[in-house]
Structures are given as C-alpha cells and as structure tokens.
Structure 1
Amino acid sequence: MSHSVTITRTTTSTTNTSYIVLNTGYLKSFPGILKLFELLVGAAIVGLMAYNFRDYYHTFRGQQDLFHYLMATTFMIGTFCLLLSCLTSLSTGGIIAKTIYELIYHSIAAILLLASSTCLLIELRNRKHDGYMAAGILGLVNCILYFISAFLAHRSYRGI
C-alpha cells in the first residue's frame, strides 16, 4: 500500500545576537506586515484619542469615545504581544497561525472595533470634532485589517 507524503519547508532569516533571536523573516510575510499595520493604525487611534480626551468633559458627553478608546487600546496591546511573540520565536509565527487563537482574536477585534467606530461616528454626525472623526475612520480601517487577518487565519487554521 503506497501513499504520498508532502513535505513543506519554511525558510526564516534571523538576526542572531547572544541572547535575543529575532525572526526578521516574519515581517516579510503578509501576516507579519498585516499585524505591523494593525499595530501602527492602533497606535495612531490611541494617540488621537489620548490627545483629544482632555476635551471629554467640555465638548463630548457620550460614552462612545471612551468605548472606542478602550477597544483601540485593548487590541493594540494584544496585537503588540502577538507580533512580539512571532518576532522573538522562530516557530511561533508558523504554529500560532494553525491554531484557533488567531481566528478568534482577529474576529473579536474586528467586530468590537466595528461596533466602537460605528457608535463613535454615529454620535459625531450631530457635532463636529475632527480628532474623534479621524480616530473613528482609522478605527474602520483597522477593522478592515482585522477582518483580513481573520480571513487569513480561517484559511490557515488546522483543527488539530
């Protein structure tokens, strides 16, 4: 009885110092670039919300901005931890993509960022605040990035 065997090889490039191994090849892959953009857009949202949060009691009495601020901060930190773990380990980037963690994380991030951005933008239709408007639109952009990541995670998920 014969059967076929498929062998897949993954080549990674590393920057090796005495204590830290960096998987620089992960940032050259599409999921790595996507996570980096999610992190950068999340940092921009958190920066905009932090800068404009001082106007909270003077111009904006709703809770939508606080919800968006919390969601952007939460998923920025989670994406940073995920990207850092993939960069500091040679095997994490390939292994974690095959688990259900990435699918669940990116799906929840996309849904909650969509909800917080939509709530913020709906509230802003009655008043003008450019900083919050930019943060809401960047939230929608980040939501699209998380949906793409969830789609890629769904395609690479192996129900082991």
Structure 2
Amino acid sequence: MGLVVINTGYLKTKSGIMKIIEIVCVACALGLLRVSSPFCGQTTDSHFLGVGVLVAAMMVTPLLLISYMMGKMQIQNTYLEIAFSALFSLLLLAAGVDALRAVGNVYRDNYNKECFAMGIVSIAACLAYLLDTVFCVRLYRINN
C-alpha cells in the first residue's frame, strides 16, 4: 500500500477556488432553507426541488474536490464535471427564483427574510456553478 498524497495546490487553481465557493454557497443556502418555513416556495414540490438540489450539490461538489485533491484528474477529461456544473447551475437558478417568488406569500416576516436570503444565496451558487462550467469547458478543450 502506498501513501495517500493530497494535492493542496489544486485549491489555488481557478477550479479549486470555484469548488470552495460553491460548497460555501450551497451550505449557506441549505442552512437557510432548513430554518425557513416548511414551504420556502409556492408548493411542496418546489420545496422538494430546493432540498433535492441543495443536498445533491452538497454531496457531489465535495466529492469532486476530494477526488481532485487526491490526484484523480482524469475526471476533467470527460463530460462528467461539465454536466454536473451546468445541471446544478440550472437547478439552483430554478430553486432560487422559486424561493424569491415565494417571499410575499409566506405569512411570517422572519420566514420571509430567510426565504429571501436563501433565494439570493442559491442564485449566487448558480453563478458560481455557471462560471465553473465555463472553466471546465475551457480545460476540457485544452486536454482533448
């Protein structure tokens, strides 16, 4: 068995910085969604969309970051990361817009503020994933 070498230099790359920003934004949005009203959205379905997208992003992005830090850079030679980043960008935009649309319909003021904050942070995460998608496409074209 060999030693596990952790490539901390990856954290200084554009992609590494974007992964950290994505994880922070998604963790903040997930925390805000947790403390907001049961329906930080118009319906139960929109709430499930928000929870599902945030939990999926919270699982996939750290796994990609850990994989890259362990030296598994061959993932960047496939469409996998491009697909994940683009998909999370679109879904986080949908969840954020839905939360912002619901702000006037939630009855308590504290929940209004939390839904508004969750919507803004989700859209910020959407922009981070969108920028990461651009970086991934450029890196894919260089490698292939």
What letter corresponds to residue 140 of structure 1 in structure 2? I
Q: Rg larger in 1 or in 2?
A: 1
TM-score of the pair, normalised by structure 2: 0.84
Instruction: Indicate the SS of the match to 2:23.
Output: helix
The residue number in structure 2 matching 1:34 is: 18
Q: Structure 1: which 4+ aligned runs deviate by more than 4 Å?
A: none
CA-CA distance at 1:19 after TM superposition: 3.7
- Calculate the TM-score normalised by the size of structure 1: 0.76
Q: 1:106 aligns with which of 70, 85, 89?
A: 85
Query: How far apart are 1:61 and its partner, in Å?
Result: 6.6
Please tell me the residue identity of whatever aligns with 1:122.
Answer: R
Percent identity among equivalent residues? 26
Task: Give the conservation status (yes or no) of the 8 Å contact 2:76–2:140.
Answer: yes
Structure 1 residue runs of 5 or longer lacking an equivalent are 1-17
Q: Which has the higher contact order (CA 8 A, sep 6+)?
A: 2
The structure richer in helix per residue is: 2
1:45 is matched with which residue?
29
Q: Does 1:126 find its partner at 2:108? A: no
CA RMSD of aligned residues (A): 2.2
One-letter identity of the residue aligned with 2:88: A
The answer as to 2:137 corresponding to 1:154 is yes
